Every structure is written in C-alpha cells, then in structure tokens.
Structure 1
C-alpha cells in the first residue's frame, strides 16, 4: 500500500516538473506574433528580450523590427514576466531611463489584443504578443526557444 502511494506521489511530481517544459500552452499563456512577412519565424528568448527592451532593432535575417506592447492587462503582465523577466513598473522604468538619457523612445502601445493584431498584420517587421486563446490566422506565430 505504501509503495503504491509513493509511486503516485512520484508520478505527480514528475508530471509537475515535465509539463512546464513540454511547450504546452495553458490558459493565460502568451503567443508572440509577427507580421507574416517577417524574415524570422524563430527567436531565442534572449533575442526576444532584447527586442522588447529596445536593445535589438534588426531581425536576424535582416530588416527593421517594429515592436509593440499592450498598455496593460493580464496578457501584458504575463508576457513581461515570462519573457522579459520584469514587472510592468520595472519595464516602464527601463523605458523612462532610455527616453531621459536620449538612448531610446517609448514603445508603440496598443490598448487591446484586437488593436495589436491589426497593427502587427499591417506593419512590415512588426512583432507583438497576444493571449494564447486569440485567433492568430492573420499573423505569424513566432517560435520562441
């Protein structure tokens, strides 16, 4: 009886460890999207972070990157936590510093996921993010590794 209980506990722990590594998207997950003509369909986490911190302005295969962010909400917070490793206030401070020192400008902002999809689908070199549940047929989904 004790052996069966330990096996059950061990299996539950293994599932808990392996599921986050499996690439399965859960409710609340974020999908990185780009214009269908974007030259890269795969980005490293580091490249993605550098794009959204305004440290990288060219696609790996060439061409300018036009990144956009959501102004607020759960999708925005999840994206920042998952990929940028910053809170919304830390992210905002980062851009205030860039602007104040003359090293950057404010990111393009969208007030809704619908607006984000419209911007990314119609803007050459655009990249953004939406919730996993959003219909992304008009854009390219970026594989983040």
Structure 2
C-alpha cells in the first residue's frame, strides 16, 4: 500500500512540475533586434542578420559600418537569440569569431554584461546592432524587424 502511495505521489509531482514549467516557457519575452536610431535599415533577412552577427558582413545593407554588440556566451538571452533568431548555437558563433581573430581576418563583436548595458551601448554607438527582450526597449533604440 505504501509503495502504491509513493508511486501515486511521484506521478502527481511529475505532472505538476511539467505543468508548472509550461507557462514559464510560454511567457519568455521575445528577443528583438535593436539598432542605433540613426541606422536607415528597418528590416533584415535572417541570412544577413546571421552574417552580421558572425562578423562576416561588416556593413549595413546601405553601406554604413555596423558595430555588433552581444551578451556573453553563457547569458540565457544570448543563447536564446542565437538559437531562435539566428538558428545557430552560441558556440558556433564563438568558433567563427575565434577563427577570424586568430587568423587576423576580423574581430569579435563587442561584449556587454547585461541588457541595460546593451541598450546603452546600442543607443550611443553609431551603426550599432544588438538584441534585447521587449521589456528593455525604450525610445533611444529602434527595433529592426527580421524577415
């Protein structure tokens, strides 16, 4: 009887844990591309965005120099952005950056500590591109839509 009760309790706990985890996933804020307000580009294709964040494309489509800002590899927003928006894993981006830096053909993006710093750096750096969760947006940065 005790064994049956423990099994019943375990199944109830597992069910409640899986249900408790569902709303948290559904509530995750979307991560949006943000740029300096003077950037003329309003929309980017996913391939272009991926090339810019991989540091293979160094200019906006209109020719203006782009300055890329990213959160650290272990930051959950960076991991989500890489996977959801760029369709790559963070370690793949890091490998591409390391290859360019060590070969002398390019540089890595500028790292920021958190989303507040991301917003400040993008807002004050001409040609800047980064990403933020919606709650960190303000009128000092513009959202760039992705096709």
- Please say if residues 32 and 130 of structure 1, whose CA atoms lie closer than 8 Å, have aligned partners that are also in contact: yes
- Please say if residues 29 and 78 of structure 1, whose CA atoms lie closer than 8 Å, have aligned partners that are also in contact: no
| TM-score between the two structures when normalised by the length of structure 1 | 0.77
Aligned length: 121
Unaligned runs of 5+ in 1: 1-24
| TM-score between the two structures when normalised by the length of structure 2 | 0.76
Q: Distance in 1 between matches of 2:37 and 2:116?
A: 16
Unaligned runs of 5+ in 2: 1-25
For the aligned residue pairs, the C-alpha RMSD in angstroms reads: 1.6
Q: Of 47, 54, 76, which residue of structure 2 is paired with 1:74?
A: 76
- Structure 2 counterpart of 1:111: 113
Aligned pairs for 1:16-95 within 5 A: 27-71=28-72, 72-95=74-97
Which structure is larger by alpha-carbon Rg, 1 or 2?
Answer: 2
Q: Distance in 2 between matches of 1:111 and 1:81?
A: 19
- Structure 2 counterpart of 1:8: none
- Please say if residues 35 and 129 of structure 2, whose CA atoms lie closer than 8 Å, have aligned partners that are also in contact: yes
1:1-57 CA-to-partner distances (Å, cap 9, x unmatched) read xxxxxxxxxxxxxxxxxxxxxxxx962321100000001011111111110011111
